Structure 1
């Protein structure tokens, strides 16, 4: 009797238990990878192939990931000889005041101090030092207001979308003590979609890979051996020796503000393959943002990229397609010319989906006359393209809006036939047409 009573109590309580658990369903439970973020993306760092994305086109706060743009412009200015690593910056009221705010990530700067650009850059790349970032911006452009113009121009040049820059550091303007750049709001903050952040990181690594020599440093002493010495621990806790260490991580930039939440642009290598991951406003299963949450989300993306994807060669260089190995040639010494793929087509794809990709050949009709090329035909002339097409499911494409493919080119040259050959060919064609007409007529009689 007691057993039956217990059973019925359990049955009656079950709906109540279900109702109480509905409110504790983890945030973002529908995420395919189980990560809890407002936006995320994973790309192959070599080709820019997008391997995974979640809400990657929505503009969100980027916080100190902004500093990747400042670093890009710094490397560019160094390369162009506009400034040098040994050049010295003299602290002003703005950078002094910001550097003394220890609520923010900073290395304290002396009011009467001078610092080399290399010192300031290392403080930016390792410790995300905000006043040092402003100092770099002022060195390049004179003022941070003018530096914003460079940031916007470079963003447009790189093809970034839906970005808004209001300062060089990624802080909320309210943290800049009323000295924020002219023309920006007192509560403004930098925003960008995950896809644009990934594209910025992609271009930074391609154009200035030396940035990794600094971002991989986990700890460094600023002004070592002086009374201003301060220990700089990298905020990237996935680096070797830190609590969320992940093998192969060597960059790139964290970001945290109340508006942006916990963000991270990370990059790692394994077995010669490098990926870039971006997570924005990461939280845990209970919706609470933390350093751990952003690194857990990044770890999930890294694991997914390294375990599920591989580079596959779909078309080798020189490959000829069965349906179109040759093109006809009009008025040439030869009647046909062979065509083939100029370069191999390789792409990072999910290993389990590699059979879903097929090469699609397209001949450029504008190069043809009556379906054939006209002599003379040069060797290696581009006559079409071949690109990979996924037969089912979603393909996210490339970060730079390109596609996997190559040109179709001629494998040899065809000279134009001489006048005598052309005349004899025309005569032959004339009599052939008469013969064909006559035989057709005779066949018609019977």
Structure 2
């Protein structure tokens, strides 16, 4: 009976392990296709901007409070430039007070005739997604929300956001603001971002201002002696209701919800030195936006690894040298100036190759580079080629290209040697012409 007992025990253990791996939300599944309930989504490597997965990522949708990522950026930029500081005091305008007092906007209850410092207002905006403190900061930075919206749209263009439109600083619908909608925008206007744009905005925010993550990762804090919670349930909240959503490594970034936008979330997580950015838009519930984010994060951490495919100084066989014209050396070696180091799907190394494109402006009619040539001089471009569907990058700079450079210097020949070479070429050409002519007689 003992062998049978051991076999049954083994079967039970395997079955239990399979059950755990199938149902635990933080277990990473190495799946080729991720089925997402979000209308639009994207997953991006935060270091390189490489897109790892995308679904309707270029469809412009209302982002709700994910809009506040741009407000955060501009406030942090104003602090960095010295225009304001974390300790700068400001008071609450009638407009911001009205928003704060409206229960429909879940305000934290600001009061007037009191100084609030930037740090407290920012924390309330970034942690609790408060709308009134967002407006107060916009008015402090730009003088009015209308002027701040102009700054938002200008910064969006500067960042290269592909599909976007900002009409206010909060992400509320302008129709909800009544007569207080920002000057210069439409009374029925709404903010718009594609998932790709939201990811690029998050990319710039955490690249330029890493401190934003120190604040967005706070699960709970106090404001005016009141406890306020972070709407990001994937953080380590104390509430038992949120335990199922906790995700190791998550430290931001911004939730959003309106009737028009549905439930949205721009998340970012770091594990083993690798950071990912995910965006889900227009999910049907608070629960769904976090579970869809888990799917994306699990997929990214399980299936991708950063790898050096071709190191710096790599030389492609058959194209490792260029013939040199008018030089003391007849050839010069060429190699990659930098390594091709990107996140790739595990096991897909052999799907990548490189091709060379030499700079025609530096070559003569025979395809030779003309001396003098300096060591490290760019002579062309090396491009990474992928045998499959490449989703590209969210940044313009993030392309599969590096410079192709000369590995040593080649001096130009002196005038005497150049003259001898020219005379030799002259007689070679004469002799070739005579041979051709003689062949023509026969």
Indicate whether the TM-score tops 0.5: yes
Given the alignment of the two structures, is residue 236 of structure 1 paired with residue 232 of structure 2, yes or no? yes
- Residue of 339, 353, 356 corresponding to 1:358: 353
Contact 1:236 1:254 in 2 (8 A): yes
Q: Distance in 1 between matches of 2:189 and 2:228?
A: 28
Structure 2: unaligned runs, 5 residues or longer: 1-31
User: Any idea what SS the aligned residue of 1:281 has?
Assistant: strand
Bigger shift: residues 423-432 or 230-239: 423-432
Contact 1:330 1:373 in 2 (8 A): yes
SS of corresponding position for 1:386: strand
- The alignment yields a C-alpha RMSD, in angstroms, of 2.0
Residues 165 and 192 in structure 2, CA contact (< 8 A), matched pair in contact too: yes
d(CA) in 2 for partners of 1:254 and 1:35?
18
Aligned partner of residue 59 in structure 1, secondary structure: coil
Say if 2:418 is the partner of 1:417. Answer: no
Question: Does the CA-based 8 Å contact 2:178-2:187 persist in structure 1?
Answer: no
Aligned equivalents of 2:436, 2:151: Cα separation in 1: 75
- 1:22-47: CA deviation from partner (whole Å, max 9, x where unpaired): xxxxxxxxx94121011000000000
Q: Deviations over 1:49-76 (max 9, x none)?
A: 0000000111101000000000111111
Partner residue in 2 for 1:78:
79
SS in 2 for 1:396: coil
User: Is contact 1:218–1:239 with CA below 8 Å preserved after alignment?
Assistant: yes
Alignment of 1:346 onto 2:346: no
In the alignment, does 2:317 pair up with 1:307? no
CA distance in 2, matches of 1:91, 1:442: 98
Output the CA distance in 1 between the equivalents of 2:74 and 2:232. 22
How far did residue 435 of structure 1 move?
6.1
| 1:106 and 1:128 in contact (8 A); partners too | no
Deviation at 1:161, TM superposition (A): 2.1
SS for the counterpart of 1:151 is: helix
With normalisation by structure 1, the TM-score equals: 0.86
1:257 equivalenced with 2:258 (yes/no) = yes
Provide the C-alpha distance between the structure 1 equivalents of 2:379 and 2:153, rounded to a whole number of angstroms.
Answer: 39
Q: How big is the shift at 1:278? A: 0.1
Aligned counterpart, 2:425: 429
1:52 match: 53
In 2, Cα distance between the equivalents of 1:32 and 1:333? 57
Give the 5 Å matches for 1:125-274: 125-223=126-224, 229-241=225-237, 242-243=242-243, 244-274=245-275
Q: How do residues 349-388 of structure 1 correspond to structure 2 at under 5 angstroms?
A: 349-370=344-365, 371-388=367-384
Q: Distance in 1 between matches of 2:190 and 2:105?
A: 15
Structure 1 regions of 5+ residues with no counterpart?
1-30, 224-228, 283-288
Equivalent runs, 1:318-337 vs 2, <5 Å: 318-337=313-332
Q: How far apart are the structure 2 equivalents of 1:45 and 1:407?
A: 23
Deviation at 1:349, TM superposition (A): 1.5
In 1, Cα distance between equivalents of 2:393 and 2:34: 20
Contact map agreement 1:106 1:127 (CA 8 A) in 2: no
